[in-house]
Amino acid sequence: MKVSVCIAVKNCSNFIKNSLFSILNQDFKEDWEILLGDDLSSDDTIDVVISALKYIGGKIPVRFYKSDKNIGCGLRRNCLVNFSFGDYVAIADGDDIYPPKRISEQYSIASSDSGIFALSGSCNVIDEFGKSISHIRKDNMTDREILYALSNTYENPICDPCSFFDKKIFVEMGGYSCLDQNRLIPDLDLWMRFFEFSKYGIISNRTILVFENTWVDYRKNPNGNTVKFSREMMRAHGLRRKIFNHRLLDEASVECKKDFSTPGRMELIYEQGY
């Protein structure tokens, strides 16, 4: 299996159907799969997902899990990665839309260079009705430029909902953080740990790249974490950046957690194509 698309979902019943359609409409010709994990939704997200998958059908392998516990997006993704078969992981969100060439273009780039750990791109921002409201254009960025942005700004230069990474390295890094202080910024913490591990030789000869390609219509969802918890996310970002800069400048101890945390039970409730 070449690629596993991992989608952690919670209370996105209004958007998940269109998001799924866009993912299932990818033009990728290699073997790939889709894994969804519900993080204890209180709406009818589970019913909508199952109904959509039954309606769409198709030959693409899909598994859908539900949980008995809300653990947050990062740890839910860890669970999905743990169940995945792909060499690479493509992150997707249940309220965003993806262009048909997203996975094929990202896989082509990543598989052609064994030194790449992760890559991402630009995003078109849409509102809750799907109307385009802005475009966050990313220039092509090297790992050195990404490191500078992480160290010196409050910007996360790596667009999370279209990130694509090497599964083996992700697991070696411990996956997304299990620390509560990083619950709202699991992606930012992951990228910072990559550079911390690189500095101390835990990971070597790997890089993160950002491309100008637009790989997601990112929805500014009024009920999403980015909008609802923007202040909390900013505070968590500031704290993590202080720790990051301390570890880069001083001989601070950085431990590589080999087994990533996947708390809570997950039950397979729908499967097709395997």
Q: What is the pLDDT of residue 253?
A: 59
pLDDT of the chain, 274 residues: tens digit per residue: 999 999 999 999 999 999 999 999 999 999 999 999 999 999 999 999 999 999 887 789 999 999 989 999 999 999 999 999 999 999 999 999 999 999 999 999 999 999 999 999 999 999 999 999 999 888 899 999 999 999 998 889 999 999 999 999 999 999 999 899 999 999 999 999 999 999 877 788 999 999 999 999 999 988 888 888 889 999 999 999 999 998 888 755 566 555 566 666 899 999 999 8
Q: What is the pLDDT of residue 56?
A: 81
Architecture of domain 3-272: Alpha-Beta Complex (3.90)
Query: Which 3-state string (H, E, C) describes the chain?
Result: CCEEEEEEECCCCCCHHHHHHHHHCCCCCCCEEEEEEECCCCCCHHHHHHHHHHHHCCCCCEEEEEECCCCCHHHHHHHHHHHCCCCEEEEEECCCECCCCHHHHHHHHHHCCCCEEEEEEEEEEECCCCCEEEEECCCCECHHHHHHHHHHCCCCCCCHHHCEEEHHHHHHCCCCCCCHHHCCCHHHHHHHHHHHHHHCCCCCCCEEEEEEEEEEEEECCCCCHHHHCHHHHHHHHHHHHHHHHHHHHCCCCCCCCCCCCCCCCEEEEEEECC
Instruction: Indicate the domain borders of the chain.
Output: 3-272
Contact of 119 with 109, CB cutoff 8 Å? yes
What is the Cα–Cα distance from 244 to 180, expressed in whole angstroms? 17
Q: Which residues of 58-80 are buried (b: 16+ CB within 10 A; e: fewer)?
A: eebbbbbbbbeeebbbbbbbbbb
